[in-house]
Amino acid sequence: MHFKNRYHSIVALIVGFVFPMAIFAAERSVIVGFHLKPGQSEQELIRGIGGTIGHTYRLIPAIAVRLPEQALDQLRQHPLVAYVEDDKTVMVVEPMYTDFSLQRSFSSAAIATDTEYQDAWSVLHIGSKEVHQKGLTGTEIKVVVIDTGIDYNHEDLAANYRGGYDFIYGDDDPFDDSWNSHGTHIAGTIGAEGNGIGVVGVAPEVSLYAVKSLDAAGFGTVSTIISGIQWALDNDMDIINMSIAGVDSPVLQAATDAAYAEGLLIVAAAGNTFGGPVSFPGGYDSVIAVTATDQMDLRAFGSPIDPRVELAAPGVGILSTVQYYGYNWQSGTSQAAAHVTGVAALVMSAGVEDLNSDGLVNNKDVRLRLQMTAVDLGVQGRDDEYGFGLVNAAEAAVPPPFLSLNLVRERSWFRSMERVMLEDASYQITIENDSLRGMVGLVFENHRVRDDLLIRERFVNQAGDAPQKVIIDLDATGTAFKVLFIPFGKVGASAKITIRKQ
């Protein structure tokens, strides 16, 4: 299976030589936007003018198609159609350098002298080890890397890999076949295991998913990227990591905006533009654009200078995983973005309060937490070189002393659940019901459910006198509990949960 991509690449190369490109010039790949969610009528319209449907999206009302050039004007004038946009080419944000003379594999002898944290200097630098020692490692947070794929057999990634999809060749085997192991390198920085081998990631127990939207050479299209974003939403991801250098595309912006509005946190490389503008999709308001710094916290030479830079993170001389059990140093804003993604996973694992006072605890609060705890660099305040500053895991991933959760029954069970980490203190949990029928709270200690601490509340009974406010004491002194709250009732039903240290 892992050689399939190389096979397809060779076939494509041969076809390109044997058949003149003029044969294919009469068709064009476009993304067709509609006024309403595309259904049978829209699909029949595409087929009726000789088009071939690639992807039908639910995130945005659009279809990626290939159709005859002469049909474009007819399509643009149709009353069902809102716009027709060329399916533009995008590419990976290439590392600024990759010195293969430094490539290495770790033997048991090397492990005896090199610790994971010493080799992952950047993970130490942003305070991740301190967070790991508190038991916060990103457990159960779902991160998807939309990139060239992941070598999911790698000894430092295998235990954290959970699955994915390949939109280049259309199957569920998103193995990384890129020449520089780009997706695998990013995955290692985010979530390499703390297993005594190689390096350790920022969130070493995060759930890693791979979406292959870029081919072996690092190229893809707007449609393959949007397909990856759609996959992330459909599969209940928490965070998207992207390292894409593309042109400004209204349809791509619409997709990132829609995904962000649905609760996904989107982190992207700001681009290796050497003092130029931020690359897209990093330049969109719905995306966190991350620039790169070196060990002295200075802007990396290839990083952009742009007011859209939001955060900075280590991105020079980053050692991480590459294909076939190897490790390699790479540099660039791709590596920096991976650090921010890992810290975001730690923040979600720790829990965050309603920082923007909108009555919800979601991706927007996580984003604010990253901004508020960043170490200010350069000009005081947010600036064009460092954004809000260097991402700071030690300050960001701290369970808040006061936490307010709005537990809402969503259509997706996964998105209905709320998680919080409670450690080394006694807590009072107040549950004020609005319209739920009931709820369950699962208490985990060392990744195992404590059956004796199960929280089970029913707010509706036949007599109609079930309590609507419940107060529970939970003692986590000397340990750490992860509590998972699960609501029951109609979609939209809710309850407010307040957690205070005693």
Identify the CATH number of the domain in which residue 291 sits.
3.40.50.200
Q: How far apart are CA 335 and CA 385, in angstroms?
A: 17
pLDDT above 70 for 377: yes
User: What is the arithmetic mean of pLDDT over 238-243?
Assistant: 97
Q: Which of 371, 421, 358 is nearest to 131 (CA)?
A: 421
Q: Which of 441, 406, 443, 440 is nearest to 422 (CA)?
A: 443
Mean model confidence pLDDT for the chain: 89
Listed residues 72, 87, 102: the one ending a domain = 87
Percent helix, percent strand, percent coil in the chain, to nearest 5: 25, 30, 45
If asked whether residues 119 and 13 sit together in one domain, one would say: no
Listed residues 69, 87, 105: the one ending a domain = 87
- Give pLDDT tens digits for 259-288: 999 999 999 999 999 999 999 999 999 999
Among 90-99, 383-392, 480-489, whose mean pLDDT is lowest? 90-99
If asked whether residues 337 and 475 sit together in one domain, one would say: no
**The residue type at 86:** D
- pLDDT given for residue 44 in this prediction: 95
- Threshold 0.85, pTM exceeds: no
- pLDDT given for residue 17 in this prediction: 41
Residues labelled catalytic: 147, 182, 334
If asked whether residues 236 and 140 sit together in one domain, one would say: yes
Q: Could you give the strand order of the β-sheet that contains 161-166, starting from the edge strand earlier in sequence?
A: 161-166, 207-212, 142-147, 239-242, 265-269, 288-293, 311-314
Q: How far apart are CA 327 and CA 98, in angstroms?
A: 11
- 3-class DSSP state of 155: coil
Tell me: cis bond preceding 281? Omega within 30 of 0 counts. yes
Q: Which of 141, 56, 494 is nearest to 352 (CA)?
A: 141
pLDDT above 80 for 443: yes
If asked whether residues 373 and 423 sit together in one domain, one would say: no
Helices (H), 273-332: none
If asked whether residues 239 and 320 sit together in one domain, one would say: yes
- Give pLDDT tens digits for 391-417: 999 999 987 777 788 899 998 888 899
- pLDDT given for residue 403 in this prediction: 79
If asked whether residues 243 and 266 sit together in one domain, one would say: yes
If asked whether residues 327 and 473 sit together in one domain, one would say: no
Q: How far apart are the first and last CA of the chain?
A: 55
Q: How far apart are CA 315 and CA 122, in angstroms?
A: 8
- pLDDT given for residue 182 in this prediction: 97
If asked whether residues 77 and 225 sit together in one domain, one would say: no
- pLDDT given for residue 14 in this prediction: 43
* Dihedral over Cα of 254, 255, 260, 263: its sign: positive
User: What is the arithmetic mean of pLDDT over 197-220?
Assistant: 96
If asked whether residues 59 and 117 sit together in one domain, one would say: no
If asked whether residues 173 and 239 sit together in one domain, one would say: yes
User: What is the arithmetic mean of pLDDT over 193-221?
Assistant: 96
If asked whether residues 280 and 426 sit together in one domain, one would say: no
Helices (H), 56-179: 72-76, 108-113, 116-119, 121-125, 128-132
Q: How far apart are CA 87 and CA 263, in angstroms?
A: 26
CB distance 142 to 162 below 8 Å: yes
Listed residues 49, 64, 87: the one ending a domain = 87
Q: How many domains does the chain have?
A: 3
Alpha carbon 148 to its chain's center: 14
Domain range for 241 is 92-396
- DSSP secondary structure letters along 437-453: SEEEEEEEETTEE-GGG
